[in-house]
Amino acid sequence: MRYSAQKGTRDILPSEIHNWQKAEKTFAEVCHSFGYEEIRIPTFEQTDLFQRGVGDTTDVVTKEMYTFEDKGGRSITLRPEGTAGVVRSFIENGMTSLATPVRLFYNITAFRYEKMQKGRMREFHQFGLESFGSAGPDIDAEIISVVDVFFKKMGLKNIALHINSIGCPACRGEYNKLLKDHFRPHIETMCEDCRTRLEKNPLRILDCKIDGGRDIVQNAPRLIDHLCEDCKAHFEGLKARLDAIGISYTIDPNIVRGLDYYTRTVFEFVSENVGTQGTICGGGRYDGLVEDCGGTATPGIGFAMGVERLLLEAEAQGALTEAPSYVKLYIASMSEQAKIEALKICYGLRLNGIGCETDMAGRSFKAQMKYAGKKGIPYLVVIGDDELASGEVKIKNMADGSEEPIKLDVIGEYLADKI
């Protein structure tokens, strides 16, 4: 074969697309029911937005971005995630003046130069949302319940929710000192990235793909034990709201998330079915990001869900569905004139929203019947000279073999009742 899809990319084929469409439609419906509106952002942004927004000590920025110089000499990056672009758009389009919270959702492709694994692609899809302007834990609980409701509507069960708080810059300052003191005596034994992280951003060491599993990392001081009073109250507020709604969760002090913008609440929905990392959906609060990107200080919170991982989970839980049949009727023709009549009837049916097909390949009558059977088309009509003369045909229900006489000009009404 001359060409193949690039490593880490894949085609989404017609045989599976209905499950993608169902997920997309369900996500949009659930978001709308919470008052979220869809936003579509560009696929690429200036590189600096991600360096500043996502953070220049994160793996995403230092190792995984698709960055290139365009013909105008600008440094451009294919979005590795959606939050930074949505924040840029929020500021640029003056959404700061809208009534709060400003609730936005999206359905995007994202690009990360990662090692291919189950559930880990270089081009992947995310459903996500961002909410701006609400600082209290109500909105934290709201966005978590968006995911919960969405999973339920998708027929998914038992996807564990893990929550944590990683504090604000005030409590993190003190905590960073503790972390540095903890790691400094061992830093020579740690990977090169961790050595850089120690001074620049020690929190990132907790997220290291190389050293993350070691005792020295596992036994590090936990930010949740060093929160300031306000952050503690915020986290207690979130827990109380989740308890009231009835969403169960585990407090997981190890969640730090791989992106720098987070403050206070962070959360992940995890499952063993979706690959080694197991995270289907991750998100959290980012109260400093809008200001960091040049806007007026505005609290924000959001999440993104990997659609490939979501569908792996759906497959593992037996929640994928059979492809629907869009074409309801096949009109087989026995002569040239019947073929022209079939074309005409099909045109009228399609105008009325009824999917139908007739021969396009010059097949013999027998081959047309075979084709309709193979495609699983539920109704069949045969037009020959007799039918043309009488204006009446027999419509066959392929599931039970039964036939009914019907006038050619009322096939549409007949099928509309059946579909």
Q: Which stretch binds ligand HAM (CB under 6 A): 113-121, 201-209, 236-244, 385-393?
A: 113-121
Of 120 and 172, which has the nearer Cβ to ligand HAM?
120
Task: Please report how close the Cβ of residue 258 comes to ligand HAM at its closest, in angstroms.
Answer: 5
Tell me phi and psi for residue 86, to 5 degrees. Answer: -65, -40
Cβ proximity of 109 and 85 under 8 Å: no
Residue 114 is a binding residue for ligand HAM (CB under 6 A): yes
Of 108 and 338, which has the nearer Cβ to ligand HAM?
108
Of 38 and 403, which has the nearer Cβ to ligand HAM?
38
Sole binder of ligand HAM in the list 124, 151, 235, 267 (CB under 6 A): 124
Residue 55 is a binding residue for ligand HAM (CB under 6 A): no
Sole binder of ligand HAM in the list 282, 295, 299, 378 (CB under 6 A): 282
Task: Please report how close the Cβ of residue 282 comes to ligand HAM at its closest, in angstroms.
Answer: 3
Residue 130 is a binding residue for ligand HAM (CB under 6 A): yes
Residue 36 is a binding residue for ligand HAM (CB under 6 A): no
- How many residues in the chain? 419
Q: Which stretch binds ligand HAM (CB under 6 A): 81-89, 161-169, 193-201, 231-239?
A: 81-89
Q: If we measure between CA atoms, which residue out of 222, 166, 204, 211 comes closest to residue 186? A: 211
Q: Dihedral through CA 32, CA 35, CA 40, CA 41, nearest 10?
A: -150
Residue numbers 256-275 binding ligand HAM by CB under 6 A: 258-259
Residue 85 is a binding residue for ligand HAM (CB under 6 A): no
Residue numbers 337-396 binding ligand HAM by CB under 6 A: none
Of 19 and 126, which has the nearer Cβ to ligand HAM?
126
Residues in contact with ligand HAM, total (CB under 6 A)? 27
Q: Is residue 37 within a helix (H) or strand (E), and if so which, with residue range?
A: strand 37-38
Residues 6+ apart with CB under 8 A from 230: 168
Task: Please report how close the Cβ of residue 62 comes to ligand HAM at its closest, in angstroms.
Answer: 14
Residue 112 is a binding residue for ligand HAM (CB under 6 A): yes
Sole binder of ligand HAM in the list 55, 85, 101, 128 (CB under 6 A): 128
Residue numbers 199-258 binding ligand HAM by CB under 6 A: 258
Distances from the Cα of 24 to the Cαs of 44, 49, 103, 111, in angstroms?
22, 27, 18, 19
Q: Which stretch binds ligand HAM (CB under 6 A): 126-134, 194-202, 213-221, 388-396?
A: 126-134
> What does the block give as tokens for 220?
């590090």
Interatomic CA distance for residues 176 and 197, integer angstroms: 11
DSSP alpha helix (H) spans, 246-287: none
Task: Please report how close the Cβ of residue 284 comes to ligand HAM at its closest, in angstroms.
Answer: 6
Distances from the Cα of 262 to the Cαs of 120, 171, 331, in angstroms?
22, 13, 59
Distances from the Cα of 307 to the Cαs of 23, 121, 298, 353, 405, in angstroms?
8, 11, 29, 30, 47
Sole binder of ligand HAM in the list 52, 103, 120, 264 (CB under 6 A): 120
* Full DSSP string of 137-191: HHHHHHHHHHHHHHHHHTT---PEEEEEE---HHHHHHHHHHHHHHHGGGGGGS-
Cβ proximity of 286 and 190 under 8 Å: no
> What does the block give as tokens for 337?
């004139």
Q: If we measure between CA atoms, which residue out of 259, 280, 376, 296 comes closest to residue 329? A: 376
> What does the block give as tokens for 402?
């039964």
Task: Please report how close the Cβ of residue 291 comes to ligand HAM at its closest, in angstroms.
Answer: 16
Using CB positions, name the residue nearest to ligand HAM.
306
Contact pattern for ligand HAM over residues 290 through 309, marking x by CB under 6 A: ------------xxxxx-xx
Interatomic CA distance for residues 64 and 200, integer angstroms: 19
Question: Long-range contacts of range 170-175, CB-CB < 8 Å, 24 or more positions apart?
Answer: 170/228, 171/223, 171/226, 171/227, 171/228, 171/231, 172/203, 172/223, 174/226, 175/203, 175/221, 175/223, 175/226
Residue 279 is a binding residue for ligand HAM (CB under 6 A): yes
Q: Which stretch binds ligand HAM (CB under 6 A): 123-131, 190-198, 221-229, 335-343?
A: 123-131
Sole binder of ligand HAM in the list 137, 284, 299, 378 (CB under 6 A): 284
Task: Please report how close the Cβ of residue 212 comes to ligand HAM at its closest, in angstroms.
Answer: 15
User: Which 8-state DSSP code applies to residue 280?
Assistant: E
Give the interface with ligand HAM as residue ranges (CB under 6 A): 81-83, 112, 114, 119-121, 124, 126, 128, 130, 258-259, 279-284, 302-306, 308-309
